[in-house]
């Protein structure tokens, strides 16, 4: 779901190759027509758990900033 959502919904005017995003920002990208039904199973902290398990060609690394986990998302 994530590669499809990034390709169709993530504004990338600067042609970034990767971007730090919180799970809230990633959920907003995924919350589009056609993906909503698949997103329902990722309520609460389940999205963060699923993001942490993605391969490194989609999520390169994670970090904590001011108590919030951020994910380095590959945009290409």
Count Cβ atoms below 10 Å from residue 27 Cβ, excluding itself. Answer: 16
**pLDDT digit string, tens, across residues 9-21:** 776 667 788 889 9
- φ, ψ at 10 (rounded to 5°): -95, 115
- CA 40 to the chain's CA centroid: 15
Would you place residue 66 in the very low, low, confident or very high pLDDT band (cuts 50, 70, 90)? very high
Given a cut of 70, is residue 53 above it in pLDDT?
Answer: yes
Domain that holds residue 66: 2-74
- Report the SS3 class of residue 54: coil
Total count of domains within the chain: 1
- The encoded tokens of residue 70 equal 């951020």
């Amino acid at each position: 779901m994530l590669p499809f959502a990034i390709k169709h919904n993530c504004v990338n005017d600067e042609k970034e190759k990767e971007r730090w995003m919180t799970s809230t920002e990633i959920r907003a990208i995924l919350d589009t027509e056609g993906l909503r039904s698949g997103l329902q199973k990722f309520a609460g902290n389940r999205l963060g758990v699923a993001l942490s398990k993605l391969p490194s060609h989609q999520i390169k690394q994670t970090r904590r900033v001011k108590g919030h986990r951020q994910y380095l998302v590959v945009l290409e």
